[in-house]
Structure 1
Amino acid sequence: MSELETFLKEKTTEIVGKMGLEAEVSLSQEDGQTVLEINPDKEEDAPLLIGFHGATLNAFQVILGTLAFKKFGKFEPFLVESGGYRKEREEEIRARALEAADKAKFLIKEVSFPAMNASERRIIHLTLEKEKGVRTESRGEGRERHVVVIPEGLPQKDVK
């Protein structure tokens, strides 16, 4: 295990403990990316580690990434996961993106998603980039940034 991986595992265990939880923390490599898996000892604690739409996992990602950068002076990409949540969420977003594309084409009307973080918006853009008859745009600022699915033929709006 590398020095970074040891550091990530120790800090994660420390933070989880400060949350009053116990969990098994493990590291693996998937598709060339380091995955930090946090599995709570008690199944009922899983929602506390995941948070609403993965908000707690995202917070772990930011905090651990910042701590690692401060310690090692460089950014090493890794993904924080718990119980396969991120994979399930990605599949759900892909399915919703395809449904939105069908709806936009059928109604010849824009279909908007609620505000999402950058990685979730990216999933929609990548899912629909080769879908015929629609295009996607991100609109809004900051926490209100969201994806709009636009059927062919509607004019493009100015995007900030």
Structure 2
Amino acid sequence: MKKVTASGKTIEEAIQKALEELKAMREEVEIQVIENPQKGLFGLFGGKPAVVEVELKPDSIEEARDFLQVLIEKMGVQVDIVSKTDNRETIFDLQGEHIGTLIGRRGQTLDSLQYLVNLVANRNSEGFLRIRLDAENYRERRKQSLEQLAERLAKKAIQTKRPVKLEPMHAHERKVIHTALQNIKGIATYSEGQEPRRYIVITVK
């Protein structure tokens, strides 16, 4: 039940009845007054109660999850979406067969799905919501792969004493590279180019 109509001697009484029926707090609902209370003749006969319509506000996270489920089904892939919370962000972990279709080349499809899901989640949200999409621990595996790549190319830069350019990456992947090499002595990193072709350069100090 997401919407109820309730009546009472006063608007406040009607609202309270509706909240009890919905088992909700006032900040979780939208309230519309259908009829104001009217006193009867001499305050005794023909009076009318207040009538309100109270509806639960949509859960932005659930809306985003439902949107993602429908989108993935239209892509012809069947998955389970496992939701969990990590610090201030919500993680939707996709589990099932043919996960590679949802990850795409270097995670590009997963990133695109994540962008759309965040748009939906923040469409009606009062505060900013952050949702991260993962697919059977792809994000962590990709992070480890990038860290290994960074170390390997840093060694190459030291050996050749020449700058090494990486392929274009998303901002969050560039951050992984910068972080992985920030404490390696004699190595510096910086980014060049314009999005979406921005890339990292590893150079010797």
Q: TM-score range by the shorter chain?
A: 0.7 to 0.9
User: Which residue of the other structure, out of 131, 134, 143, is the alignment partner of 2:196?
Assistant: 143
Aligned residue in 1 for 2:19 = none
Aligned residue in 2 for 1:34 = 90
Higher strand share: 2
Q: Is the 8 A contact 2:95 2:136 kept in 1?
A: yes
Classify the secondary structure of the residue corresponding to 2:136: coil
User: Which residue of the other structure, out of 71, 91, 94, is the alignment partner of 1:15?
Assistant: 71
Give the partner amino acid of 2:162.
Answer: K
Q: Is the 8 A contact 2:117 2:131 kept in 1?
A: no
How many residue pairs are counted as aligned between the two chains? 148
Aligned residue in 2 for 1:123 = 176
Q: Distance in 2 between matches of 1:64 and 1:141?
A: 25
User: Which residue of the other structure, out of 80, 95, 115, is the alignment partner of 1:24?
Assistant: 80
Q: Distance in 2 between matches of 1:67 and 1:32?
A: 18
Give the partner amino acid of 1:124.
Answer: I
Q: For residues 8-157 of structure 1, what are the structure 2 equivalents within 5 Å?
A: 8-30=64-86, 32-40=88-96, 43=97, 45-152=98-205
Classify the secondary structure of the residue corresponding to 2:184: coil
Classify the secondary structure of the residue corresponding to 1:81: strand
Q: Distance in 2 between matches of 1:4 and 1:79?
A: 14
Q: Distance in 2 between matches of 1:147 and 1:84?
A: 25
Unmatched 5+ stretches in structure 2? 1-57
Classify the secondary structure of the residue corresponding to 2:108: helix
How many Å apart are 1:30 and its aligned residue? Answer: 3.3
Classify the secondary structure of the residue corresponding to 2:133: strand
How many Å apart are 1:142 and its aligned residue? Answer: 1.3
Give the partner amino acid of 1:87.
Answer: E
How many Å apart are 1:78 and its aligned residue? Answer: 2.1
How many Å apart are 1:32 and its aligned residue? Answer: 4.9
How many Å apart are 1:103 and its aligned residue? Answer: 1.1
Q: Is the 8 A contact 1:136 1:148 kept in 2?
A: yes
How many Å apart are 1:75 and its aligned residue? Answer: 2.6
Runs of 4+ in 1 over 4 A off after TM superposition: none
Give the partner amino acid of 1:25.
Answer: I
Higher helix share: 1
Classify the secondary structure of the residue corresponding to 1:144: coil
Give the partner amino acid of 1:30.
Answer: D
Which structure's CA Rg is the greater one?
A: 2
Unmatched 5+ stretches in structure 1? 153-160
